[in-house]
A and B are shown apart, each in its own frame.
Chain A
Amino acid sequence: MTPAVEAHDLGRWYGDVVGLSDVSLTVEGGIVGLLGANGAGKSTFLKLLVGELRPSRGTIRVLGEEPFANRRLYQRLGFSPQQDALWADLTARETLTFLLRASGFARPEARRRAGAALERVHLVEAGDRRVGTFSKGMRQRVRIAQAIAHDPALVVLDEPLNGLDPLARRDTLDLFRALAAAGTHVIVSSHVLHEVEELTRTVVLLHRGRLLALGPAPEIRALLDRRPRRVAIRARDPRRLARALLEVEGVTAVRLGDAGLLDVETARLDELQERLPAIAARERAGVRSLTVSDASLDSLFDDLVGGVR
């Protein structure tokens, strides 16, 4: 079976700026999450994947085809770009009908499919309103609808959950699952790990234009959970608290900062959180606040690449 995506030494740079470098991977199909912090190269990778850009080096094949300006491939590909751009003066229905006709469907079939796609993204009632009057989340749903309306074999979605409210987000995740269940390959980019986790086990991790990992989401989550975490604690008597915290299992370092601030590093966040109230009470340290440092991908990436920099 032809893989959905195959890339070999794929690289793309913009002048002196590296967008993507030496990415080699094979994506078989199903739902794949493309994960990375802002500027990691996700959009560059997706633009190469849908043939909007040419590689500066290496090769990429999508459903067995080279993607740049490949009309045969575009019959089997749906793409929802990250940019919040649509024809503001067209209605959602007109937008979809126009793009379906550009995909080669006759007018009646294009209209039928446009209606069905609007239904799938819950925009039937707003379908005859101009897109320029839509909220950000509604425009996002129009972008998703145009990507799936022609029943492509591969749907590529760049940050498709941006701007969606929790309800629409849940519906959209269900939609992606339904597409995958029907045999469509779905590639979804995101910079939020738990979004991808909800959707798929297969994650492609990009960082600073490079492929960092390709594998199951739980392993990446475990990596995130195992890494040392930093906790900032503000207390009335930070010195007493610092001495006591060194007894807690997993705490590897405690630093005194300004204005009653303690910077605690621990490999067992759960243990620290469980024991802190009792320790604070015993030492009469007067804990005023506790902040766990950012658990986003950025810090995970920094940890992961820390050893190779």
Chain B
Amino acid sequence: MKALLSATWLLFVTHLPRLLRSRRTLLVLIVALIPAAIAWIVTSVALKRSPSPGAVATMGGWILLMQVVVPLTALVMGSAAVAEEVEDRTLTYLFTRPMPRAALLLGRWAAIAVVLTVILALATWLFLVAAGRARGEGPQLDAGVRWPLATAVLMGGLAYSAAAAALGAFVRYPIVIGLGYAFAVEGFLANLPGKNQMLTLQHHLRSWIMAQGSETWSRFEKFTTAGTVDARTAAFVLVGVVVVALAVGSWRLSRREFLLSA
């Protein structure tokens, strides 16, 4: 266990600065700032009926942040944890060292999680600042709107990125499968009426928001036809996804052989 922890820490501290200067991180940052940019534009142009800050925050948060930005950025970042080393053929150096192979997944994912959390926190804050510029009448931007959204964004980022990172221990191109799953399967299921919604991460993120949020969020109840789970269950499932994904990914990584071309 000590060997695993120290190797994970080594991978974490080595990967973190590399991540900060990578083009992938820059791309993710740009994508993450799109909702804030859109909110800024919406609150800047003169509309016939100006929206309220709460309306902009909940609508943009529900659709843009939760359903597009969080899965997209988390999958792009998370999928690189193992797959990048395979693609760059540098995995050999790490797998012929006396360290637990699982440390590669855990250490690199931990670095990704830190960077992703900072990016998503920044993106959400800027989005809420932009939404706060709205001048229309109606629900305002209170803590019951802000905090459930911000915490759901961060939890979603961790859950999706952990799943994508673990996927890299199984397949060569986890980004393709991850994005396919997030948008074609989960995006589809989460928005279809019926109990299928409960099988998605989106359902639990929405449940978290609905359970924690103010009345302003209640107009999205019609999207959760399967009903919602309480906040504790939602958090338990989301944390569980992270733990199980990393455990299964680590297990697979410890046993799998990778064919790296010369």
Q: Using a CB–CB distance below 8 Å, which chain A residues touch chain B?
A: 14, 43, 50-54, 68-69, 71-72, 74-75, 77, 79, 81-83, 85-87, 89-90, 98-99, 101-104, 146
- Check A86–B90 contact: CB distance below 8 A: yes
Which positions 78-94 of chain B face chain A at CB distance < 8 Å? 88-90, 92-94
Task: Determine how close the nearest CB of chain A comes to the CB of B196; give it in whole angstroms.
Answer: 38
Residue of A nearest to B17 (CB): A89
Q: Contact partner of A71 among B10, B18, B100, B255, CB < 8 A?
A: B100
Q: Contact check, B92 vs A83: say whether CB atoms are below 8 A apart.
A: yes
Q: Which of A52, A53, A87, A102 contacts B18 (CB 8 A)?
A: A87
What are 25 pairs between A and B in contact, CB < 8 Å? A51-B96, A52-B96, A52-B257, A54-B257, A68-B257, A69-B95, A69-B254, A69-B255, A71-B98, A71-B99, A72-B98, A81-B89, A81-B260, A83-B92, A83-B260, A83-B261, A83-B262, A85-B89, A85-B92, A89-B21, A89-B22, A101-B10, A102-B93, A102-B94, A102-B97
Question: Within the complex, which residue of A79, A82, A89 is in contact with B96, where a contact is CB–CB below 8 Å?
Answer: A79
Complex Cα–Cα for A72 and B100 (A): 11
Give A70's nearest chain B residue, CB to CB. B98
Q: Does B258 contact A (CB under 8 A)?
A: yes
* Cβ contacts under 8 Å, A102 to chain B: 7, 10, 93-94, 97-99
Decide if the interface of chain B is mainly helix, strand, loop or mixed.
loop
Q: Are B14 and A98 in contact (CB under 8 A)?
A: yes
Within 8 A of A (CB), among B95-143: 95-101
Contact check, B95 vs A103: say whether CB atoms are below 8 A apart: no
Q: Are B98 and A146 in contact (CB under 8 A)?
A: no
Once the chains bind, are B90 and A85 in contact (CB under 8 Å)? yes
The closest CB in chain B to the CB of A19 belongs to B259
Which of B18, B92, B98, B255 contacts A103 (CB under 8 A)?
A: B98
State in angstroms the CA–CA spacing of A101 and B101 once bound together.
Answer: 15
List residues of chain B with CB under 8 Å of any chain A CB.
Answer: 3, 7, 10, 14, 18, 21-22, 88-90, 92-101, 254-255, 257-262
Of all A-B residue pairs in the complex, the 9 with the closest CB atoms, nearest first, are A85-B89, A102-B97, A71-B98, A74-B98, A82-B262, A75-B98, A83-B89, A79-B96, A81-B92
Smallest beta-carbon distance A222→chain B, Å = 31
B92 touches A52 (CB 8 A): yes
A83 to B90, CA, bound (A): 9
Count of CB-CB pairs between chains A and B under 8 Å: 73
Residues of chain B lying within 8 A (CB to CB) of residue A71:
3, 98-100
Q: A79 and B92: CB pair below 8 A?
A: yes
**A282 CB to closest chain B CB, in angstroms?**
52
Q: Is A87's CB under 8 angstroms from B258's CB?
A: no
Q: How far is the CB of B99 from chain A (nearest CB, A)?
A: 5
**Of B18, B22, B92, B260, most A-chain CB atoms within 10 Å:** B92
Q: How far is the CA of A51 from the CA of B95 in the complex (A)?
A: 9
Residues of B with C-beta under 8 A to A101: 10
Which of B22, B88, B96 interacts with A50 by CB under 8 Å?
B96
- Of chain B, the residue at the smallest CB distance from A79 is B96
Cβ contacts under 8 Å, B3 to chain A: 71
Closest A residue by C-beta to B9: A101
- Which partner residue on chain B sits nearest A87 by CB separation? B90
A99 in complex: contacting residue of B18, B97, B255, B260, CB < 8 Å: B97
**In the complex with contacts A89-B21, A90-B18, A99-B93, A52-B98 CB distance below 8 A:** no
Q: Which residues of B contact A52 (CB under 8 A)?
A: 92, 95-96, 257-258, 260
Q: Given A52-B260, A102-B98, 10 more contacts at CB 8 Å? A: A51-B96, A52-B95, A77-B96, A81-B260, A82-B262, A83-B92, A85-B92, A89-B21, A99-B93, A102-B97
Give B7's nearest chain A residue, CB to CB. A102
Residues from chain B with Cβ under 8 Å of A51 in the complex: 95-96
Q: Across the interface, which residues of B come within 8 angstroms of A103, CB to CB?
A: 97-99
Q: How far is the CA of A75 from the CA of B97 in the complex (A)?
A: 7
Contacts of B255 on A, CB cut-off 8 Å? Answer: 69
Once the chains are docked, how many angstroms separate the CA of A68 from the CA of B258? 12
User: Shortest distance in angstroms between B232's beta carbon and chain A's nearest beta carbon?
Assistant: 39
CA gap between A101 and B259 in the complex, in Å: 25
Within the complex, the shortest CB–CB distance from A63 to chain B, in Å, comes to 13
A74 vs B90: C-alpha distance in the bound complex, in angstroms?
16
**Smallest Cβ distance from B251 to chain A, in angstroms?**
12
Residue of B10, B98, B100, B260 most packed against chain A (CB within 10 A): B98
Partner among B88, B90, B96, B262 whose Cβ is within 8 Å of the Cβ of A43:
B262
Contacts of A89 in B (CB 8 A): 18, 21-22
